[in-house]
C-alpha cells in the first residue's frame, strides 16, 4: 500500500480535501463525552477539604454503589485504573499465596505481573486471544489445586473485544473459597454487573469507558471478605499510593482523604454518574447492545473479519476486527484521524498491527457515532486500495437498527 500520507488539506487541486475541523474520538477509551460532563470539569475547583466538595464526593461513591450493584464499599482511587488493579493484588496477596490468573487476552495476561509483584505463586489458565475463558477448565484447576487464594479475570477484554463469563466464575470462586478480582474496566456501564449478587470481591472500573466520564480514577467495589483478608495480614500496605487500606481507614472510616483529591475529575464523574442513573442502568446496557449490533453488522458488510471467535462472546463496548491482508493498521488509523477526523483504536501488545477497534462506549454508544466511524473506515480502506462499495458498511449498520 504505497499511499504516502499527506496532510489532507495541503494536497494538490485534484485531490484537495478539507482538513477536519473537529475530532470524533470513537476508540477504546477515552471517548468523546457529553457536554454536561465536559462542562462540569470547568467548574471552579473547590478545596478537597471544602464541606461542599466532601458532600459531592460522598454522593459520587453512593452513586457508584448503585452502578456496581453493591451495598458494600466503593473506593475511588486517584490514578489510572491500572492503579486499582495493582492495589487489589497489593491488598489481597500475601507471599506464597496461590493465585490463579485467567487469561483470554492482553489485559488478562498482564495481571500475572501484579500477582507476582506482591509475592503470589501464579497459576495461569489461558485461551487464545479471540476466545473466552472456559468455566469448566477453571473448575477443574480449582478442584485439582485445592488452595487457590485469589483469582483474577477480565470481564471485558477491551484489546480483543471479547467478554468472559464472570457470573459463573464468581460462583466457582465462592464455592472454592477463593477471592475474586474482576477487571470490569470496560464492562461496567455496558454489561449487566452484580457485585453483591454474583459475589465478587474486588472490581475495578474506569470512568472513561462505558460510564461516559473522563480518565483519572480507578473506580472500585470492595467486599467485606476482601477487607477482612487485607486487615488480617500482619503488614498490609499502608501509607502507600497503592494502599486500599488508606482509603478504608482514611476516608471511609474517618472522613479524611489520604491526600489532595483531583476535584475536577470527581466533579466530572459525579455528572457522568448522575446522567447514567437518570437514563437508567438497563437502558444504557440496551443502548450499548444496540450500537454494538449495528457496528458489527457494518464491519461484516465490508467483508472484514470480526476478531472474536464467536458472536456470543463479542463485547458490546468495542468492535474488534482483523486488519485486512496487505493493509497496515497504523496507516488506516492515521488516515481516519488526519483525513477524516475519526480516532479509532488499534491493537495492543501481541495484538498490535493485527486488529482495529471501534468503540461504542458511554456517550459514544450512539448510532450516529457508529455511522461516522464506519464512514471514515470505508473512506480510509478505499484510499489504501481495499475494495469498498461506498455505503455498504454504513448501510448495513442502518439496516440493523430495525428489529
The reply to whether 393 sits near its own copies by the rule CB under 8 A is yes
CB 356 within 8 A of CB 332: yes
The reply to whether 80 sits near its own copies by the rule CB under 8 A is yes
The reply to whether 86 sits near its own copies by the rule CB under 8 A is yes
Which residue matches cell numbers 499465596? Answer: 97
In the bound state with its own copies, the residue whose beta carbon lies nearer, of 155 and 287, is 287
The reply to whether 20 sits near its own copies by the rule CB under 8 A is yes
The Cα–Cα gap between 303 and 386 comes to: 10
Given the rule CB under 8 A, which of 34-42, 59-67, 124-132, 176-184 is the region that contacts its own copies? 34-42
Give ∠ CA 141-145-146 in degrees, rounded to 5. Answer: 115
In the bound state with its own copies, the residue whose beta carbon lies nearer, of 286 and 310, is 286
* 222 phi and psi angles, rounded to 5 deg: -135, 125
> In this chain, which of 149, 155, 296, 379 binds its own copies, going by CB under 8 A?
379
Minimum separation from the CB atom of position 189 to its own copies (A): 13
Minimum separation from the CB atom of position 373 to its own copies (A): 10
* 156 phi and psi angles, rounded to 5 deg: -115, 115
CA-derived radius of gyration, the chain:
22
The reply to whether 71 sits near its own copies by the rule CB under 8 A is no
> In this chain, which of 45, 119, 192, 353 binds its own copies, going by CB under 8 A?
45
DSSP string, 37-75: HHHHHTSPPPPTTSHHHHHHHHHHHHHHHHHHT-SSEEE
Nearest to 400 by CA among 286, 298, 253: 298
- What's the residue count for the chain? 403
In the bound state with its own copies, the residue whose beta carbon lies nearer, of 233 and 389, is 389
Binding string, 177-216, against its own copies, x = CB under 8 A? -----------------------------x-x-----xxx
Grid cell locating 351: 495484538
Binding footprint of its own copies, residue count (CB under 8 A): 102
CB 186 within 8 A of CB 320: no
> In this chain, which of 66, 167, 338, 354 binds its own copies, going by CB under 8 A?
338
Which segments of 176-280 does DSSP mark as H helices, in order? 195-198, 224-232, 245-247, 253-254, 263-279
Given the rule CB under 8 A, which of 76-84, 128-136, 309-317, 319-327 is the region that contacts its own copies? 76-84
Residues 234-253 that bind its own copies (CB under 8 A): 239-242
Grid cell locating 91: 491488598
> In this chain, which of 63, 67, 81, 272 binds its own copies, going by CB under 8 A?
81
Indicate the angle between helix axes 81-92 and 224-232, nearest 10 degrees: 60
Nearest to 149 by CA among 229, 42, 47: 229
Minimum separation from the CB atom of position 137 to its own copies (A): 27
Which residue matches cell numbers 455511522? Answer: 371
Q: Is 387 helix (H, G, I), strand (E, B) or coil?
A: coil
Minimum separation from the CB atom of position 192 to its own copies (A): 16
In the bound state with its own copies, the residue whose beta carbon lies nearer, of 136 and 282, is 282
Given the rule CB under 8 A, which of 174-182, 306-314, 315-323, 339-347 is the region that contacts its own copies? 339-347
> In this chain, which of 7, 47, 96, 197 binds its own copies, going by CB under 8 A?
47
Minimum separation from the CB atom of position 25 to its own copies (A): 5
The reply to whether 29 sits near its own copies by the rule CB under 8 A is yes
The Cα–Cα gap between 176 and 171 comes to: 9
Minimum separation from the CB atom of position 237 to its own copies (A): 9
Sheet architecture: strand order including 345-346: 318-322, 355-359, 345-346
Given the rule CB under 8 A, which of 20-28, 145-153, 197-205, 223-231 is the region that contacts its own copies? 20-28
In the bound state with its own copies, the residue whose beta carbon lies nearer, of 79 and 126, is 79
Residues 247-286 that bind its own copies (CB under 8 A): 258-265, 268, 279, 283, 286
CB 183 within 8 A of CB 101: no
Amino acid at each position: 500500500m504505497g499511499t504516502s500520507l499527506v496532510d489532507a488539506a495541503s494536497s494538490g487541486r485534484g485531490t484537495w480535501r478539507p482538513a477536519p475541523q473537529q475530532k470524533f474520538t470513537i476508540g477504546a477509551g477515552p471517548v468523546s463525552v457529553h457536554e454536561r460532563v465536559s462542562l462540569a470539569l470547568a467548574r471552579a475547583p473547590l478545596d478537597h477539604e471544602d464541606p461542599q466538595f466532601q458532600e459531592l464526593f460522598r454522593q459520587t461513591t453512593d452513586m457508584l454503589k448503585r452502578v456496581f450493584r453493591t451495598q458494600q464499599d466503593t473506593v475511588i482511587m486517584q490514578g489510572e485504573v491500572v492503579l486499582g488493579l495493582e492495589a487489589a493484588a497489593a491488598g489481597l496477596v500475601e507471599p506464597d499465596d496461590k493465585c490463579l490468573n485467567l487469561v483470554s487476552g492482553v489485559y488478562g495476561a498482564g495481571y500475572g505481573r501484579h500477582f507476582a509483584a506482591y509475592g503470589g505463586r501464579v497459576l495461569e489458565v489461558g485461551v487464545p486471544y479471540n476466545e473466552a475463558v472456559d468455566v469448566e477448565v477453571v473448575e477443574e484447576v480449582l478442584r485439582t489445586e485445592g488452595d487457590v487464594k485469589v483469582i483474577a479475570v477480565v470481564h471485558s477484554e477491551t484489546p480483543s473485544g471479547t467478554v468472559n463469563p464472570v457470573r459463573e466464575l464468581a460462583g466457582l470462586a465462592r464455592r472454592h473459597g477463593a477471592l475474586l478480582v474482576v477487571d470490569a474496566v470496560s464492562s461496567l456501564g455496558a454489561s449487566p454487573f452484580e457485585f453483591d449478587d454474583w459475589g465478587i470481591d474486588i472490581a475495578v472500573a474506569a470512568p472513561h469507558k462505558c460510564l461516559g466520564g473522563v480518565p483519572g480514577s480507578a473506580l472500585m467495589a470492595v467486599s467485606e471478605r476482601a477487607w477482612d483478608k487485607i486487615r488480617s495480614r500482619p503488614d498490609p500496605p499502608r501509607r502507600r499510593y497503592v494502599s486500599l487500606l488508606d482509603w478504608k481507614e482514611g476516608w471511609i472510616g474517618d472522613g479524611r482523604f489520604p491526600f489532595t483529591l483531583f476535584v475536577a475529575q470527581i466533579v466530572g464523574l459525579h455528572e457522568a454518574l448522575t446522567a447514567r442513573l437518570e437514563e437508567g442502568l438497563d437502558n444504557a446496557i440496551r443502548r450499548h447492545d444496540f450500537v454494538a449490533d449495528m457496528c458489527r453488522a457494518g464491519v461484516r458488510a465490508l467483508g472484514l473479519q470480526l476478531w472474536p471467535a464467536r458472536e456470543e462472546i463479542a463485547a458490546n463496548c468495542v468492535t474488534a476486527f482483523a486488519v485486512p491482508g496487505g493493509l497496515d493498521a497504523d496507516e488506516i488509523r492515521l488516515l481516519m484521524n488526519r483525513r477524516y477526523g475519526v480516532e479509532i483504536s488499534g491493537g495492543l501488545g501481541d495484538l498490535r498491527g493485527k486488529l482495529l477497534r471501534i468503540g461504542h462506549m458511554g456517550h459514544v454508544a450512539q448510532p450516529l457515532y457508529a455511522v461516522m466511524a464506519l464512514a471514515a473506515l470505508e473512506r480510509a480502506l478505499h484510499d489504501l486500495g481495499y475494495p469498498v462499495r461506498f455505503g455498504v458498511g454504513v448501510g448495513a449498520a442502518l439496516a440493523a437498527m430495525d428489529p
